[in-house]
């Protein structure tokens, strides 16, 4: 009887300890979780030229999950205003809040793909954790000589 009472008490203590344990709060060192992502608008000149390029953008995220700074990685040079399009889109991303963190940093990649055939509406694909692939519709360029 004593053994049974000891076992029951042990089980009750374990159950009480499990109920009292709260889930761990997210850590500032964990990767930021994307809540919403904005695709860039492809500049007309880049769409006409059919530019294919990846643009890495470093963002700083505050405790509320808001992007407070965005810039193309140092040493990287994008052409035809794709860097501006990527940083502008990056500023619109939203991340899960972690109030205990003053700021976190993540690197987003905007992958400008080969244009799709004429008549296709274009395509945007989000690839977790931090990548967006964008393919524009092909743009017809008038090559007739100017009179």
| 117 vs 95 pLDDT, higher one | 95
Question: Which letter, b or e, does each residue of 43-54 get, where b requires 16 or more Cβ atoms within 10 Å of its Cβ?
Answer: beebbbeebebe
Model pLDDT for residues 6-31, shown as the tens digit of each residue: 443 444 444 445 454 556 667 888 89
Per the CB < 8 A criterion, the answer to whether 85 and 41 are in contact is yes
* Residues 41/44/48/49 CA torsion (nearest 10 deg): -80
DSSP per-residue letters across 93-121: -EE---TT-SEEEEEEEEEEPPPBPTT--
| 87 vs 114 pLDDT, higher one | 87
CA distance 34 to 110: 15
Q: Whole-prediction pTM value?
A: 0.76
Most confident range, picked from 41-50, 73-82, 92-101, 120-129: 92-101
Where do the domains of the chain lie, and which CATH numbers do they carry? Answer: 28-135 (3.30.2420.10)
Q: Work out the average pLDDT over 38-53.
A: 89
Model pLDDT for residues 51-108, shown as the tens digit of each residue: 899 999 999 999 999 999 999 999 888 888 999 999 999 999 999 999 999 999 999 9
Instruction: Name the pLDDT band for 120 (thresholds 50, 70, 90).
Output: confident
SS3 130: coil
């Amino acid at each position: 009887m004593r053994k049974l009472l000891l076992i029951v008490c042990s089980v009750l203590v374990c159950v009480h300890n499990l109920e009292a344990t709260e889930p761990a709060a997210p850590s500032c060192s964990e990767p930021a979780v994307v809540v919403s992502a904005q695709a860039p608008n492809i500049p007309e000149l880049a769409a006409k030229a059919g530019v294919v390029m990846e643009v890495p953008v470093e963002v700083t995220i505050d405790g509320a999950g808001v992007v407070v700074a965005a810039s193309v990685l140092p040493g990287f040079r994008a052409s035809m205003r794709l860097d501006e399009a990527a940083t502008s889109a990056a500023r619109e991303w939203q991340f899960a809040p972690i109030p205990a963190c003053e700021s976190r940093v993540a690197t987003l990649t905007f992958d400008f793909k080969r244009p799709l055939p004429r008549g296709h509406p274009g395509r945007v694909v989000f690839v977790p954790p931090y990548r967006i692939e964008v393919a524009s519709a092909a743009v017809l360029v008038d090559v007739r000589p100017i009179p």
